[in-house]
Amino acid sequence: MLQEFAQHRQVMQQELQKVIIGQHDVIEQLFAAIFTRGHCLLEGVPGLAKTLMVSTLARILDVSFNRIQFTPDLMPSDITGTNVLDEDDKGKRAFRFVQGPIFTNILLADEINRTPPKTQAALLQSMQEREVTVAGTTYDLPQPFFTIATQNPIEQEGTYPLPEAQLDRFMFNIKVGYPSASEEEQILTATTRNEKPEVNKILSAKAIVNLQKLVNSIAVSEQIVKYAARLVRATRPGDSESPEFIKELVDWGAGPRAGQFLIQGGKAIAAMDGRFSVAIADVQRIAVPVLRHRVSANFQAQAEGMDTEAIVQKLLAEIPPPNAEKYE
């Protein structure tokens, strides 16, 4: 079963790479989120194919896809939907709910930091409870449901930083970097020809839900749970066991969600490799994208040129994995 899953993942990657050149880590983290019901925040400068990556992913998966372009004048009802007054043939009036673009399987929240917090907050309930409440009535979102948001880290004119409650709902904060020299040459060759690559649909919505159940059933040892808990607790300056540099450089650390996502992400990495159990290396592989947006660095850290990513990397180097117990 897991071998079949690993093959599916391989085929998905091949299809995606017909359009997207390079970005192997980004693609791996996107897949890990999809197989564990997680949401992703893609961060990168303009022109790095963030939006193209998400729309191509939606074409590979046989699921519905909506894109919302976040703008300063966007209203919460533009996302969730609204009640409309309808009149029937007999002149009787009644309210009818018109679904917003959030009622989809994959939602692309493009430039999410361009809209005010009031509108950003419209996503809070849908990302955690996977439902939407409008005028006192709660509507379930289709399964599976993922939010993949993009934002541009450089331009701060006319942007609204995401509230902590919103950031915490994203499983991964994925940094999309520049391509290498050879990848950039490939991009230029492929995109300036008059050819449009065709991608095939690989997985249906039902297949994704079944694969999510399969990933969830991957075994996690007590060792892994202890390591994930220790890693998360070490990010909190108030914790007695956190390293000295955390107490100096961090205002506040990650919450329990971080530990849940470390274990879920570890399960996805193990499953994509065709393994039946999670290893310490799997947790370490996804620790940076899980923790970098949950740790708040203070002025001292900025003065020392340490961003949250550097703090998490240092933490990974300092926190030793628990020793496996020997059985006599």
- Is residue 40 within 8 Å of residue 293, measured between CB atoms? no
More confident residue, 113 or 7: 113
Binned at pLDDT 50, 70 and 90, residue 103 comes out as very high
E-strand spans in the chain?
Answer: 40-43, 61-62, 65-69, 81-87, 93-99, 106-110, 131-134, 137-140, 146-151, 172-175, 203-204, 250-252, 296-297
If you search the block for the tokens 């995606």, which residue do you land on?
16
Prediction pTM value: 0.85
Percent of the chain with pLDDT over 70: 97
Q: Is the pLDDT of residue 244 over 60?
A: yes
2-71+102-193+202-206 CATH, one of 3.40.50.10490, 3.40.50.10860, 3.40.630.30, 3.40.50.300: 3.40.50.300
For 18, 110, 112, 139, 275, the CA distances from 79, given in Å and listed in that order, are: 32, 12, 12, 13, 39
Looking at every residue in the chain, the average pLDDT score rounds to 84
Q: How far apart are CA 145 and CA 220, in angstroms?
A: 25
Q: What is the DSSP letter of 35?
A: T
Average of pLDDT values for 183-210?
82
Of 83, 89, 80, nearest in space to 109 by CA: 80
How is the chain split into domains, by residue range?
2-71+102-193+202-206, 218-318
Of 258, 239, 260, nearest in space to 250 by CA: 239
Q: How far apart are CA 68 and CA 87, in angstroms?
A: 30
pLDDT per residue as tens digits for the range 211-237? 888 888 888 888 889 888 888 888 888
pLDDT at 327: 40
Topology match between the domains 2-71+102-193+202-206 and 218-318: no
Q: Is the pLDDT of residue 204 over 60?
A: yes
Lowest mean pLDDT across 3-17, 57-71, 265-279: 3-17
Task: For the domain covering 218-318, report its CATH number.
Answer: 1.10.8.80
Average of pLDDT values for 29-51?
87
Q: Convert 101-134 to b/e letters by CB count within 10 Å (16 or more is b).
A: bbbbbbbbbbbbbbbeeebbebbebbbeeeebeb
More confident residue, 270 or 196: 270
If you search the block for the tokens 């970097």, which residue do you land on?
177
Cα torsion 326, 312, 292, 296: sign: positive
- Is residue 116 within 8 Å of residue 70, measured between CB atoms? no
Average of pLDDT values for 131-150?
87
More confident residue, 2 or 180: 180
pLDDT at 164: 82
Q: Is the pLDDT of residue 189 over 50?
A: yes
Of 34, 42, 36, nearest in space to 63 by CA: 34
Q: Is the pLDDT of residue 272 over 80?
A: yes
pLDDT at 324: 52
317's CB contacts (< 8 A; 6+ apart) are: none
CB atoms within 10 A of CB 138: 10
Structure tokens at 207: 């297949």
Percent of the chain with pLDDT over 90: 5
Average of pLDDT values for 35-54?
86
Question: In one letter, which amino acid is 82?
Answer: T
pLDDT per residue as tens digits for the range 277-311? 888 888 888 889 998 888 887 888 778 878 888 88
If you search the block for the tokens 């004119």, which residue do you land on?
157
Q: Is the pLDDT of residue 146 over 50?
A: yes
